[in-house]
Amino acid sequence: MAVLTQEGVRLGLVAEDKADALRQSGEVLVEIGAAEPPYADAIFEREESVSTYLGEGVAIPHGTNESREFINEARIAYLQFPEGVDWGGGNIVYACIPIASASEEHVEVLASLAQVLMVPESAEKLRNASAVEDVLSLLAPQEEEVASVEEDTSATDQGEQNEGVSEDPTP
């Protein structure tokens, strides 16, 4: 199953405050079968110890390491708050991307998220998405990038020099 699916995308939500946005984030993970309620509760614990605000109006709420036992499967969700949520420190969150993962299954989607957030226009598209499909396409792992990396690695293995690709120095 994909880490991010239609059922985990929620557009046009309203949150009274940060705590409400965190509660909604945890509830979605439980609703889609990714986690049990104790994991959703641990999202608050994580936020107390370190902010999950990433920048560009996006936060990635997730539970503590100790709460991983309550994860059923690796999944993420997307919750859009068009009015914004005060995340503290002068930060306003327009999109929460809660994560439930006991291993590394979510890394490809987070890599895609990082790519989106590095381009202000793409970050704006993510914050202002008006259709579920827009969110899914923006956060889908970019297969052409994976193919490009595989081609570069293959060429390097054959002894060819590729610009921007260094050979592995390990024997």
pLDDT digits (tens, 9 = 90+) for 47-75: 999 999 999 999 999 999 899 999 999 99
User: What Cα–Cα distance (Å) separates residue 165 from each residue in 128, 138, 161?
Assistant: 36, 26, 8
pLDDT at 153: 37
Percent of the chain beyond pLDDT 90?
A: 64
Question: Can you give the pTM of this predicted structure?
Answer: 0.80
Give the pairing of strands 58-59 and 91-96.
Answer: parallel
Exposed e or buried b for every residue in 4-42, given b needs 16+ CB within 10 A?
A: beeebbbbebebeebeebbbbbbbbbbebebbbeebbbb
Query: Per-residue confidence at 171, pLDDT binned at 50, 70, 90?
Result: very low
Domain parsing of the chain, residue ranges: 6-156
pLDDT at 155: 42
Q: To which residue do tokens 């595989």 refer?
A: 150
Q: What is the CATH class of 6-156? A: alpha beta
pLDDT digits (tens, 9 = 90+) for 113-166: 888 889 899 899 999 999 999 999 988 876 444 443 344 434 434 444 444 433
By annotation, the residues acting in catalysis are: 62
